[in-house]
Amino acid sequence: MLCYYPFLYVIGVATLITYENDLKNGVFYPEALLYIYKKASFFAYYFLHSPLNVWQLACPKQERNSHPLWGRGLIFLFPMTLLGPFTELLTLQNLPMRGALQDEQIEIIPDAGVLYNADGIIMAVGKFLEMKKDALIQGYAIETITESLVLLPGLIDCHTHTCYAGNRAQDFAMRMAGKAYLAIAKAGGGIMHTVRATREASLETLKALTRTRLLRHKKEGITTCEIKSGYGLSFEAELKMLQVIADLQQEDTGIDLIPTCLAAHICPPEFENQKAYITHLITMLLPEVKKRNLSHRIDIFVEETAFDAENARYYLEEAQKMGFALTLHADQFHAFGSKLAVEMNAQSADHLENSTEEAIEYLAQSNTVAVALPGASIGVGDKFTPARKLLDAGAILAIATDLNPGSAPMGNLLLQASILAMYEKLSTAEVFAAITFRAAYALGLQDRGTIEVGKRADFVTFKTTDYKNILYQAATTEHIHGTWLKGVKTF
Ligand SMILES: [Zn+2]
């Protein structure tokens, strides 16, 4: 009888044979063997549990369960955890990457469980009681959930400026009282205020400030957070910001961090013009960022007070040649930037509050993700990104917080998404997609954003029995029960 465990056994033996010569010579690589064995086990499990699996068809469940000892032997090397039961589990798998979505398209598994391995990779998703029978026989760890919870993929905030020092409450008060964002910037306020404070802050101070903000992100259900530099605007200060993000990534913050170099935020006063600063970035900063492996993405603010299209294109082309992925702040106050993003095949074009019909069509025809930042619309009192039009045209829409001290101090991804949804008339499915797998796509990540076999075990759980309560109660974080990062509960 063809069966799961003999198959794994054969892989294990084959692995040993591969190393036979080394073993004979007294050379032993336990780490390498374990690594190969774990990977082989993963692929075996994946293929054997897929719907097209002929092995499983040839091997009834009863038969598979009759080899508990082999199963336990495997677990000794490769432990797995079954988590559940969840009142509802929303996999978000099989949803299209682009365009409009209906709530009926969401796959909801009631009384669900999710099984993941020691590397934090999902191995199975299904009905908890059925999975529990297997788990007991095979000796898997079982973490039993005793309250009513809804499970979603961990939330992904694909655009933030979480690393900064200082405070821009004065700007906020001025904007509330009617002064325009661009006028405040031209008067010497705005970004340069934060740049001065961030330059003055030590690496440790900046790290402590950012760490505190990450703690808040975590409580809001975020498991992956992009963080930009861009308040240094000098060789040393930009590297300091990126180093802070790199150091925090090594810490146990409970959030996976994606660093983006936004040295091209605005042109600092030390440089006579945009071209001179861009040239400095290309020749000095970016090679160093690359050398120190601090970021694989670059961002540029294309706007009247920042960089014009011509300099932006030159910068993007040169950065692309160096191997950086691209993203742009585009169409925030004036309609330029998004077309350039599409032409440069950027991962995302973010803001888009003032995108024209033509720009929407451009984005819809591209793989560049349109990222709406409702917190920035609220923070400057501007209109929202035309999310409905973008989706109806067939674009890939993500939603992010743009958390920053100036235009978007609000944070709270769920609340922002909920507000945008109400004004732009988005379905719950469209919102969930925009803050999970579509946001992952904006960051070039394919290993997260849905709950399915092979993806990371990054989860967020809500204290409710009905997923519709998640956006309904978005104004509070009280209903968020916890998050898991690669299978490890972070709070
Ligand atoms: Zn931004």
Tell me the per-residue pLDDT of 104-127, one tens digit each, with 9 for 90 and over.
999 999 999 999 999 999 999 999
> Could you tell me the distance, in angstroms and rounded to a whole number, from the CA of residue 371 to the centre of ligand 1?
10
Q: Return the CATH number at 187.
A: 3.20.20.140
> Could you tell me the distance, in angstroms and rounded to a whole number, from the CA of residue 299 to the centre of ligand 1?
9
Structural domains in the chain (count):
3
The one-character DSSP state at 270 is: T
Judge if 74 and 148 occupy the same domain.
Answer: no
Judge if 388 and 375 occupy the same domain.
Answer: yes
Judge if 211 and 198 occupy the same domain.
Answer: yes
pTM of the complete model: 0.86
End-to-end CA distance of the chain: 45
> Could you tell me the distance, in angstroms and rounded to a whole number, from the CA of residue 279 to the centre of ligand 1?
22
> Could you tell me the distance, in angstroms and rounded to a whole number, from the CA of residue 408 to the centre of ligand 1?
8
> Could you tell me the distance, in angstroms and rounded to a whole number, from the CA of residue 172 to the centre of ligand 1?
16
Contact assessment for residue 355 and residue 386, using Cβ atoms and an 8 Å cutoff: yes
Q: Which domain holds residue 459?
A: 80-152+451-491
Judge if 129 and 203 occupy the same domain.
Answer: no
Judge if 377 and 291 occupy the same domain.
Answer: yes
- Per residue in 393-452, pLDDT tens? 999 999 999 999 999 999 999 999 999 999 999 999 999 999 999 999 999 999 999 999
User: Distances in Å between the alpha carbon of 206 and those of 199, 202, 213, 258, 390?
Assistant: 10, 6, 11, 17, 37
pLDDT computed for residue 12 by the predictor: 59
> Could you tell me the distance, in angstroms and rounded to a whole number, from the CA of residue 154 to the centre of ligand 1?
22
> Could you tell me the distance, in angstroms and rounded to a whole number, from the CA of residue 263 to the centre of ligand 1?
12
Judge if 198 and 169 occupy the same domain.
Answer: yes
> Could you tell me the distance, in angstroms and rounded to a whole number, from the CA of residue 4 to the centre of ligand 1?
49
Contact assessment for residue 308 and residue 277, using Cβ atoms and an 8 Å cutoff: no
Judge if 274 and 391 occupy the same domain.
Answer: yes
Contact assessment for residue 434 and residue 398, using Cβ atoms and an 8 Å cutoff: yes
Contacts of 237 (CB under 8 A, 6+ apart): 195, 198, 199, 231
> Could you tell me the distance, in angstroms and rounded to a whole number, from the CA of residue 342 to the centre of ligand 1?
18
> Could you tell me the distance, in angstroms and rounded to a whole number, from the CA of residue 147 to the centre of ligand 1?
38
- Cis ω for the linkage preceding 386 (within 30 of 0): no
Judge if 282 and 426 occupy the same domain.
Answer: yes
Averaged pLDDT, 123-142: 95
- Per residue in 177-210, pLDDT tens? 998 867 887 776 789 999 999 999 999 999 999 9
> Could you tell me the distance, in angstroms and rounded to a whole number, from the CA of residue 248 to the centre of ligand 1?
20
What is the residue-averaged pLDDT of the chain? 89
> Could you tell me the distance, in angstroms and rounded to a whole number, from the CA of residue 259 to the centre of ligand 1?
13
> Could you tell me the distance, in angstroms and rounded to a whole number, from the CA of residue 385 to the centre of ligand 1?
14
Report the DSSP pairing between strands 369-372 and 397-399.
parallel
Judge if 395 and 471 occupy the same domain.
Answer: no
CA neighbours closer than 13 Å in the CB half-sphere of residue 323:
7
Domain boundary among 41, 57, 78: 78
> Could you tell me the distance, in angstroms and rounded to a whole number, from the CA of residue 300 to the centre of ligand 1?
9
